[in-house]
Structure 1
Amino acid sequence: MSGVTVALMKNYNGGYVILQCLKVFPLEHKNAILDVVAQNCRDIAVNKNGCCNIQKIIHHDDVPAFYALIENLISNAEDLAKDQYGNYVLQFLVKKKMLEVNA
């Protein structure tokens, strides 16, 4: 599942598939998807389509695995800030005004 999820996240249409899965799948499957995204967040965020898709996924903050994604993005903040696409993910997090991010 890991390789497929990452590949879909880096694809324009694939990101749509992942977002639809997050809307309709049961919680355990949503967590599994977000766990994969969290583990590969740097690789996804520095990709043109991945950058956009990861920002859309950040809206799914009702899933417990969401916080692992945020923690991993923050852990990679220095690298992401220097990247042409990754910096947009960081800007999005700051604009979202999440206590976890802006503390």
Structure 2
Amino acid sequence: MDGHLLNCIKVALEVIDLDKKTRLVQELDGHVMKCVRDQNGNHVIQKCIECIPTDRIGFIISAFRGQVATLSTHPYGCRVIQRVLEHCSNKLQSKCIIDEILDAAYDLSQDQYGNYVTQHVLERGKPHERSYIISKLTGKIVQMSQHKYASNVVEKCLEYGDGAEREHLVEEIIGQSDENDSLLTMMKDQFANYVVQKVLEVSNDRQRELLLDRVRVHLNALKKYTYGKHIAARFEQLLGEGLEKLSFTET
């Protein structure tokens, strides 16, 4: 697609009045999906969603029906879907988009681009939408935490879930017995170690103490691993200086 022409359209959408914007974007009817997948065209679609009321660009939102999961795994499509989540004011259309994301949440969480869409819903979605995603991942948290992309989603679940959901996720990570090896596996993993650090930030006092007790047993083993060394040093600092003085920001 002509990048110069599309850039002109994008600029025009910022300066012309609403009626002219509406007439201009009608020219895109029938070409929405092609634009979304284009490196220049996707920016125009995003600008349409940002600058024009939903009731005037219904044909754009409608074009995504049945394609939301596929678009969410596309490098440009995932950006467009996030703009829809931010700006779509039509409750019915918005629900249709969200429902498709929720249905595919498990797979999207593991996708290079789809994980950002899932995180977006966890950060900005309604409580029942967050709960649905968390329920989809519950029982698979240890496995997902060791995944490059899904681990970021697990961190968002821990951060944005309600108290009961967070407690359930933490229990799954910590395990129910001292012989449980999942925690050690996570602490020495290049991705899951960050999830364990997030657990320390969000867990209640009882769970935090339980986690620290489990880590003490594994400290020497952790020091043998590249990523385990990271977390061992942080836990030792935590144990020595107290929780309030420790930052888990990676250096």
Shorter-chain TM-score tier: 0.7 to 0.9
1:92 aligns with 2:133: no
The answer for unaligned runs of 5 or more in structure 2 is 1-28, 132-251
What CA distance in whole angstroms lies between the structure 1 residues aligned with 2:53 and 2:73? 27
2:76 aligned to which of 36, 43, 49: 49
Matched residues, percent identical?
23
Query: Cα RMSD over matched residues?
Result: 2.1
Displacement of 1:20 in angstroms is 3.3
Displacement of 1:26 in angstroms is 6.5
Q: Could you tell me which amino acid in structure 2 is paired with residue 31 of structure 1? A: G
Q: Could you tell me which amino acid in structure 2 is paired with residue 102 of structure 1? A: R
**3-state SS of paired residue (1:48):** coil
1:74 aligns with 2:102: yes
Q: Could you tell me which amino acid in structure 1 is paired with residue 46 of structure 2? A: L
Deviates more, 1:61-70 or 1:9-18: 9-18
Q: Could you tell me which amino acid in structure 1 is paired with residue 100 of structure 2? A: N
Offset from partner CA, 1:39-88 (integer Å, 9 cap, x none): 21111111111112211221113123111000111111122122111111
Q: Could you tell me which amino acid in structure 1 is paired with residue 78 of structure 2? A: C
Partner of residue 39, structure 1: 66
Question: Do the aligned residues in 2 keep the contact of 1:10 with 1:50 (CA within 8 Å)?
Answer: yes
Displacement of 1:98 in angstroms is 2.2
Question: Do the aligned residues in 2 keep the contact of 1:6 with 1:40 (CA within 8 Å)?
Answer: no
What CA distance in whole angstroms lies between the structure 2 residues aligned with 1:93 and 1:25? 21
Question: Do the aligned residues in 1 keep the contact of 2:71 with 2:81 (CA within 8 Å)?
Answer: yes
The answer for unaligned runs of 5 or more in structure 1 is none
Question: Do the aligned residues in 2 keep the contact of 1:44 with 1:51 (CA within 8 Å)?
Answer: yes
Displacement of 1:5 in angstroms is 1.7
Paired residues for 1:22-37 under 5 Å: 22=49, 23-24=51-52, 27=55, 29-37=56-64
**3-state SS of paired residue (2:87):** coil
Displacement of 1:99 in angstroms is 3.1
| Number of corresponding residues | 101
What CA distance in whole angstroms lies between the structure 1 residues aligned with 2:46 and 2:122? 22
What CA distance in whole angstroms lies between the structure 2 residues aligned with 1:100 and 1:62? 18
Displacement of 1:10 in angstroms is 2.1
Asked which structure has the greater CA Rg, the reply is 2
